[in-house]
Structure 1
Amino acid sequence: MKKSSLDTYLLLPIKSFINKQTSVGILIIISAILAMIVANSPLAEIYHNIWKQELYIGYNNAVLNKTILHWINDGLMSIFFFMVGLELKKEIMSGELSSFRKALLPIFAAIGGMIFPALIFFFFNFGLDSFNGWGIPMATDIAFALGVLYLLGNKVPLSLKIFLTAIAVIDDLGAILVVAFFYTSEIMMNNLAMGGVFLMVLVFANFIGIRNPVFYAIAGIGGLWMAIMLSGVHATIAAVLAAFAIPTSKKINTPLFLRKVKMLSYKIKQKLNATSSSKNKTEDEITLLIEKFSLLTQDATPPLQRLESGLHSLVSFIILPIFAFANAGVTLDSNSFDYIFSDVAIGIILGLLIGKFFGIVLFTKLMVFFKISKLPPNVKWKHVYGIGFLAAMGFTMSLFITELAFENEVLLTQAKIGILSASVIAGLIGYIYLRFISRKIINESISAKGLKTTNLEFGRKENIIKNPA
């Protein structure tokens, strides 16, 4: 079928961009750069004021009154954390975290990558008002880190990408727990108990076999999320708990699905081959059979997978760019250069660049040295060093924790400058280093293969000399 100009010049390029693994990271970077440009332009005052406007939601006395910035960070980002929860559950059920031995290496690597950054920040800010920001350098931005890794294509092994994904997912879980236990204000126990009731409803629904995503959306958002928000506990916790209640089983198993697909295909062929007086009637019957195909596919796909797939574009191409644009805008002035040498910025920069690298590499080495775990297939220590740098890109999660840790505008600015600086430096170092060592590893592999071939040829010639025909 001939493509229209709209398809060729607009829709297909957009679809191609969305399907690329690097697109999310690129879009977040563009959003952050745009925020910096606007925040340092004549529109700076409008940019900062728009996020301070208040929005109300609720009924009677149960009303949530928050600024637009808080709705983005607490509301929209809850959808992001819901998807993180779905990914985490999938990894636990059937991925890298499905077996205890496989999970140990990324778990301990992530723990090391959280402990050392917090200790470095602690060292620079102990006894200061900024001490509450110790959780900021603990985070890894999974979209940024994987985006940079996917830019390298097949120059790095697939197992390395899986290893980084597992570390980043566990890192996100660690950040969520930090938010829950250390960045939660006064707790209202009655609302928290109500949230617990809704959580039990979700778990029970999963147990008795309810598979409709709409039910989980209503009970999860209208019940669990709202109750947790009103309790004072951060809403991200509700999002992750709701994700863990989503079913991973399907309505029909694969053999039954294949039999039904075969039956429907046979019926469609019969309709096509049959001579019917009413062509329109036949087409309508075929359309109904095709609709059954669609329903059958839904029944054979677990709700968790359907939700994850459905939310991916919303989170990646709308929520995360909006979050980056709303939070990354820092207005630079004559004091900004001094801010980069503040205790907050230095603690974050060194925490991310040195703490992340040292923590991930050290804990990974300890796990391998004591033979508790081993490196993933085709992954070398040089690759692990590169992962240590990429994990230092803390952008999204670090900005998120910053908004919870500080209310003082100066501390917020210092933290954001530190996060942006560290994330850019870490991304560049990680990309350049992995690109360089990947070439070196490929060249060494080619040389080794060449040497092996030469030795084989030499061996054959030696045999001919010793044993002439």
Structure 2
Amino acid sequence: MKAGGNKSSWVKRGQPSQLPKEHIDWVIHPVTRFVKLEASAGLVLLLSTLLALALANSAWREPFATVWHTSVGINIGAFVFERSLHSWVNDAAMTLFFFLIALELKRELVLGELRQPRLAMLSISAALGGMLFPALVYLLLQFGEPGQHGWGTVMATDTAFVIGCLALLGRRIPKSLRIFMLSLAVVDDIGAIMVVAIGYGSEIDWFPIGLAMLGLVLIRLIGFLGVRSMPLFFLIGGLVWLAVDASGIHPTVTGVVLGLMTPTSKWVTDDRLHTIMDCVVAYPPGDHWSGDTPGRRVLKTAEAAAREALSPVERLEMLLHPWVGFVVMPLFALANAGVQLSDTQFSSSLMMAVFLGLVFGKPVGILLFSWLAVTLRIAVLPRDLSWRLILGGGALAGIGFTMALFIAELAYSPAQIHSVKLAILLASVASALFGLVLLLYLTPPAVELTAPPTGTPQRPLDRRSSEANDDEI
């Protein structure tokens, strides 16, 4: 019996080609569409930030602060493994954030636009400039001061807010700018977590590091043997996290390492998937689907094949994106963005260093290092990406919210942290407004061309004059 014949006979009988609809779909479908929007995570993060600020400056500020200092963990006899809820969010939940960032970087480098070395070098060079130049500006203003140790605070870019701002601009900006900014933010975050590991870690204990290395070798070994169980990989990854946490290195580094180790190749090819699906279609509906029958075994094989037709990187991105965007990052904002504005002494010099590092240092560093990379022929500038657009994108990169707050919690004393948090919030707002206004000015609505009427010859767009103007900074 041929699969094609059965398939056509099913269609003739009026068999549905989609899953059955239920009443809950009236709620699920709109929520699903909302989750898929690029700006959604940034919007939820913004609302969480505003809520944290409101609670920290209200009559509920003491209960709000007490919640985050509540000790949570395991206490069995002499074995005690506890930390505050604030620490669980910053150390454990944020590991998932960095794991997702590393997955996105791995996908872009192997499967995406960054697989071309010279295009990748443009984003990498820009990210280096966006980390080094702001740190230099900060150190010039804080050299010899009590806040000198916080130079890493101004090095990071908040991926969610940057992508959210770009989403607000819609089709006004070219796709190449979106790819450039996403890649820059991802590399920037990877660099920031390396700074955390090197610059803000405690004394290193090498024995737990050895255990962590053994765990990573075990992950690579079972992957080589063909083990496909995600829960097993997560279990071993959790043990590696515990070892890194005990070593004195910040445990979020684990997320970066595991993300970069995740395979990008899929187990089931498209041809094999179609062959397996044809075998499923070859079995017409009937009682033989119940029990341990050939039809049931084919159906289970098809289920596994459909899952494994995506690479582990793609599957994990799809799995973790909603949790990170709508749970982890809002929790982080609630735990860290609460700045008490009353009865607090703010350091103007420290605030100025953080503010100028992000608002001024970020765009200048990104533009300067990008230009140097192209001039030295290390990188190539895409045709539709001008220097002015890079400057506008660099201004948005000054939104350092998530990682800046993350590093600030490690770098500053309790007496300094309120000044730094307020400066980060002000700098992020200023960078967002400056970047959006600049990109709106540089990308007029006329760039969204409509298709000409049928039969009307389409006049090619003369880019020479516009490119000449755009190339002038």
Q: Say if 2:172 and 2:445, in contact at 8 Å, map to a contact too.
A: no
2:256 equivalent among 199, 222, 240: 240
Which residue in the other structure is 1:413 paired with? Answer: 418
Cα distance, 1:445–1:410 mapped onto 2, change above 3 Å: farther
TM alignment of 1:145-224, pairs within 5 A: 145-221=162-238, 223-224=239-240
CA gap 1:249/1:113 in 2 versus in 1, 3 angstroms: same
* 1:70 and 2:121 aligned: no
Match of residue 246 from structure 2? 230
Q: 1:348 maps to which residue?
A: 354
1:65 alignment partner, SS class: strand
CA drift of 1:101 comes to: 1.9
Is residue 439 from structure 1 mapped to residue 468 from structure 2 by the alignment?
no
Asked whether the equivalents of residues 202 and 249 of structure 2 are also in contact (C-alpha less than 8 Å), the reply is yes
Q: Which residue of 1 aligns with 2:429?
A: 424
Query: What do the CA deviations read for 1:148-190 (whole angstroms, capped 9, x no partner)?
Result: 0011111111111111111011101100110111110121221
Q: 2:52 aligns with which of 35, 52, 60?
A: 35
What is the identity, as a one-letter code, of the residue corresponding to 1:105? Answer: L
Q: Secondary structure at the match of 2:340?
A: coil
Paired position in structure 2 for 1:466: none
CA contact (8 A) 2:118 2:380 kept: no
Matched to 1:242, the amino acid is L
TM-fit CA distance, 1:73 = 0.1
CA gap 1:107/1:281 in 2 versus in 1, 3 angstroms:
closer
Which whole-Å deviations, capped at 9, do the CAs of 1:170-222 have from their partners, x for residues lacking one?
A: 1011001101111101212211111111111112222333222112101110x
Residue 321, structure 1, aligned to residue 330, structure 2: yes
Partner AA of 2:336 in structure 1: N
Determine the C-alpha separation between the residues in 2 that align with 1:121 and 1:71.
29
| Partner of residue 139 from structure 1, selected from 156, 169, 174 | 156
Among 240, 249, 253, which residue is 2:265 paired with?
A: 249
Please tell me whether the aligned partners of residues 211 and 247 of structure 1 are also in contact (alpha carbons under 8 angstroms). no
Matched, 1:301 2:310: yes
1:453 and 1:72 map into 2 onto residues whose CA distance is 53
Query: Is 2:171–2:448's contact at 8 Å kept on the other side of the alignment?
Result: no
Q: What's the secondary structure of 1:145's corresponding residue?
A: helix
**Structure 1 residue 285: Cα displacement:** 9.0
TM-score by length of 1: 0.86
**Alpha-carbon distance between aligned partners in 1 of 2:409 and 2:371, rounded to the nearest angstrom:** 34
Aligned length: 438
For 2:144, what is the secondary structure of its paired residue?
A: coil
Q: Displacement, 1:291?
A: 4.8
Q: Which one has the bigger helix percentage?
A: 1
Amino acid at match of 2:409: E
| Post-superposition offset of 1:232 | 1.2
1:311 matched residue in structure 2: 320
Structure 1 unaligned regions, length at least 5: 456-469
Question: In the alignment, is the contact (CA less than 8 A) between 1:206 and 1:246 conserved in 2?
Answer: no
1:130/1:62 CA distance change after superposition, 3 Å: farther
Q: Distance in 2 between matches of 1:185 and 1:454?
A: 58
- Among all aligned residue pairs of Structure 1 and Structure 2, give the percentage whose two residues are the same amino acid: 35
Residues 301 and 62 of structure 1: CA distance in aligned 2, closer, same or farther (over 3 Å): farther
Give me the CA root mean square deviation: 2.8
2: CA distance, partners of 1:454 / 1:111: 35
Does residue 385 in structure 1 map to residue 391 in structure 2?
yes
1:368 Cα deviation after fit: 2.1
**2:63 corresponds to:** 46
CA contact (8 A) 1:206 1:245 kept: no
Assess if the C-alpha contact under 8 Å between 1:211 and 1:303 holds in 2: no
- Code of the residue aligned with 1:369 in structure 2: it is T
SS in 2 for 1:66: strand
Aligned to 2:381: 375
- Residue 129 of structure 1, CA deviation: 1.9
Q: Match of 1:128, SS? A: coil
Shift of residue 16 of structure 1?
A: 2.4
Distance change in 2, residues 1:56/1:228 (3 Å): same
Letter matched to residue 367 of structure 1? A
State the shift of 1:410 in Å. Answer: 2.7
Within-5 A mapping of 1:5-16 = 7-8=25-26, 10-16=27-33
Indicate the residue corresponding to 2:465 in structure 1: none
CA distance in 2, matches of 1:60, 1:238: 29
CA 290–427 in structure 1, closer or farther in 2 if over 3 Å, else same:
farther
**CA shift at 1:60, angstroms?**
6.9
Relative to 1, partners in 2 of residues 1:352 and 1:454: Cα closer, same or farther, differing over 3 Å?
closer
Q: Given the superposition, is the C-alpha separation of residues 174 and 52 from structure 1 closer, same or farther in structure 2, using an over 3 Å criterion?
A: same
- Secondary structure in 2 matching 1:64: strand
Contact 2:344 2:418 in 1 (8 A): no
Q: How does 1:104-123 map to 2 (within 5 A)?
A: 104-123=121-140
Q: What amino acid does structure 1 have at the position aligned with 2:48?
A: S
Aligned residue in 1 for 2:341: 332
Q: For 1:87 and 1:16, locate their aligned partners in 2 and report how far apart those are by CA, in whole Å.
A: 21
Structure 2 SS opposite 1:371: coil
Partner of 1:80: 97
User: Separation in 2 of the partners of 1:86 and 1:205?
Assistant: 19
Contact kept in structure 2, 1:349 and 1:422, CA below 8 Å: yes
1:259 to 262, 269, 275: 275
Please tell me whether the aligned partners of residues 24 and 147 of structure 1 are also in contact (alpha carbons under 8 angstroms): yes
Partner residue in 2 for 1:467: none
Q: Tell me the distance in 2 between the aligned counterparts of 1:332 and 1:410.
A: 13
Aligned-pair distance for 1:451? Answer: 12
Tell me how far 1:412 sits from its aligned partner: 0.7
